[in-house]
Amino acid sequence: MSSKFLRVVSWNVNSLRVRLPLVVRYLDQHTPDVMCLQETRLAPAKVDCAEFRERGYHVHAGGKGGYAGVATLSRQPIAETAQGFAADNEHADRRLLCKIDDWWVDNVYVPTRRAIGKREFLDRLKQDYTARFSEPRSTLLLCGDFNVCFDERDLASLRMISEPERFGRRPEDLAFRRVLSFGLHDCFRKHHPDQKQFSWFPQTPWALKRN
C-alpha cells in the first residue's frame, strides 16, 4: 500500500449482524485498503470475525453492543489506536482513531441529536486534533457518519432538517466547521461538486427513486 494512495470506504451499516453478508460481498468485489464501519451494534469481539480475517483484514472495534459502535478494517496492520476522548475514553463507542502505515484514519459516529451531545462531540474532536497533532496533516483522514450536512448541496430539501431557517448557523453546523478548520477538506464534494448527489438516503421505498 502506497502512503500516497489509500482506498477507503465509510459505511453506516445500521447493525453489522444484519449487514455482514453485504459487507463481505463488498470486500470481495472491491478489496478496499480500509473500511470504516459505524453503528455496528456489536461488542468488539464479535466484530473481529472469521469472515474478515479470512480476507486478510486486521480489525479494531469499539462499542458495547446494542447501540452505536465503530470498527475499522485494514489490509495493513493497525499500528496504534485511540478510542474516544481523553483518559476516560468517553465516546469509545463512537470514535476510533487508527494509525495505518503513514496515515491516521479517524472513524466517527457523531451523535444524532443535540440532547445527546452532537455539538460537544464535534468540539472535543477538534480539541483532540489540536492537542494530538502539532499542525494540520495531509495524512489525516476523517471518515464516518457525521449526522450533519455541510451545505445545501448535501440536502434534497431544507425541510428535512431541524431549524432549516438557521441552517449553517446552528450549533452543530458551527461545530462541524470548527473541525474542518483544522485543515480538512470535503473529499466527496471535491470529486462530486454538482448538486443532487448524496452519500445518504432515508430507508424508505421512494427515497432512491426520487433522489
pLDDT tens digits along 112-122: 999 999 999 99
178 confidence band (pLDDT: 50, 70, 90): very high
199 against 170, higher pLDDT: 170
Would you say residue 144 has pLDDT above 80? yes
Indicate whether this model's pTM tops 0.95: no
Distances (CA, A) of 208 to 122, 156, 199: 29, 11, 11
Which CATH architecture best describes the domain 8-192? 4-Layer Sandwich (3.60)
Q: What is the pLDDT averaged over residues 38-42?
A: 97
Instruction: Please say whether the beta carbons of 11 and 72 come within 8 A.
Output: no
State what percent of residues in the chain have pLDDT above 70.
97
Q: Given the C-alpha cell 453485504, which residue does it identify?
A: 22
